[in-house]
Amino acid sequence: MSLGGLFALLCTEIDGGGNRPAWRGARIAAAHGLGLFLAGVSWVYVSLSVFGGMPAAVAGLATVLFCLVLAIFPALAGALFVGFAVAGWWRRGLLFASLWVLAECLRAWAFTGFPWLAAGYSQTPPSPLAGYAALLGVHGVSFFSALLGALIFEVSRRCLTTEPCSTRGGQRHFPALPLLAGAAILVAGEQLRDLRWTEVAGEPLSVALLQGNVAQEMKWRPERFVDSLRTYYRLAQEHPAQLTVLPETALPAFLDQVPNEYLEALQNLALRQNGDLLLGIAVADGKQYFNAALSLGASGQQRYSKVHLVPFGEFVPPGFAWFMAMANIPMSDFTAGSPGQPPLRLAGQRVGVNICYEDIFGEEIIAALPAATLLINISNVAWFGDSLAPAQHLQIARMRALETGRMMLRATNTGMTAIVDVDGRVLSSLPPFTRGALVGEVRGHTGATPYVRWGNWPVIAFACLLIGLLGRRKAAPRKQVLVQRETK
């Protein structure tokens, strides 16, 4: 509905008469984007001010500037849409959806990428549009979301007009056509939801996902270090499983600062189940520091180092050291891990591990596939407090499960710890801001969805092709149409 409203406002600019400049479309779409991001990523202020120690005014200004930068991408789509000024409801709908998707893809790439709040994430199950995820990924779902928004507007406009089948500019307008097109999109998506692109591999696996609920303001205090060790050991001891997963930086120290006796005790807990334990911890390697996941247990010690780091949170972009000096963010100067790290072999499964922010990049997640049979995300979203971020992050994980045909396990410090099935449904989860373990049975899967094979390129190519074909057909200025009618 939101995208349909944006489409309506942009069409009004085109139909307003005369040659409307593209900047008017940019202004409308920028306002839409600014509202979207100010509401949707308001948790940036929480991380900077409440937990980063930045003065409230500076944190507020930084958040607004961040949202203004993000609004550039929808503004670009709006400018091009009004600039092309195509005629015909179906041409406009397809062009709008194509431009919106390309703007999202550009946002997912520029400045290391920030694809958070892509429109497709709103269409996790039970939405019929979720069926397109395994084919085209989240950006393909965004395309159909934007197109459906345009069709909703067209149906509404035709229902409200006094002459629904009248002749306008030599063309007959039938209100049923956009309605049928929208219904076809939804029916096809619902049918695609029933398809299974992957197959079960191996026996059921018992898992325990630990949620320590260690408050962010207390996490890095030296006097709480022993309490953190004790918390996670007790949770692992009380909830034995073949695969135990601890959150990102569950232990607030570097690996070489953790007592060997403690690591051996965790390993022994895993060995009792003939299984493995995956631990989120920072690792120092010479002068380099990695945000890592370390495995202990029957499969031997293995490590995954985070590849896609968060700007300002995990590394300092060139020229912004002054900004980081104002924020008190520990562990904010990591080194990126090597791309192409193989899946870890844990408890008889090949596990594609990703850490926190990494799972918002669908094309990077599929780099571990089809080799990986299971996906695990470890996170610490305590940085964002009781905000929209944890629930949004879980919805992103659901989309990754849909795209890959793999179960996604999430172990977090404060929430949302969850087990997500291959069809994007949340099988079970822990309440946020509680301490506990989520215990369940999961299955590995083999095979590859079309999205795993091709990534985002089919959507990008299709959108570019549509823009090239549709951008040639311009709408006649409204005044010229009125003159033609009077002449007839």
Residues 6 or more apart in contact with residue 272 via CB below 8 angstroms: 240
- Note the residue count of the chain: 488
Q: Residue 483 CB: number of other CB atoms within 10 A?
A: 11
Question: C-alpha angle with apex 380: 377 to 386, nearest 5 degrees?
Answer: 120
Residues 6 or more apart in contact with residue 423 via CB below 8 angstroms: 125, 193, 401, 402
Tokens at 144, concatenated:
């159909």
Query: Could you report how far apart the first and last alpha carbons of the chain are, in Å?
Result: 38
C-alpha 333/C-alpha 318 separation (Å) is 12
Q: Which residue has the tokens 């997500």?
A: 420
User: 56-84 and 89-107 helices cross at what angle (nearest 10)?
Assistant: 140
Tokens at 473, concatenated:
């057909």
406 and 353 Cβ atoms separated by less than 8 Å: no
C-alpha 427/C-alpha 403 separation (Å) is 17
If we measure between CA atoms, which residue out of 208, 295, 298, 269 comes closest to residue 244? Answer: 208
> What own/partner pairs with CB < 8 Å and gap ≥ 24 does 180-183 have?
181/90, 181/151, 182/148, 182/151, 182/152, 182/155
C-alpha 31/C-alpha 115 separation (Å) is 18
Query: Which residues does the annotation mark as catalytic?
Result: 248, 306, 356
C-alpha 442/C-alpha 397 separation (Å) is 16
Could you write out the DSSP letters of every residue in 291-336? EEEEEEETT--EEEE--SPPBTTTB--TT-HHHHHHS--SS----P
C-alpha 29/C-alpha 32 separation (Å) is 5
Dihedral angle of Cα 51, 57, 63, 65, to the nearest 10 degrees: -150
Q: Is the dihedral of CA 369, 371, 374, 380 positive or negative?
A: negative
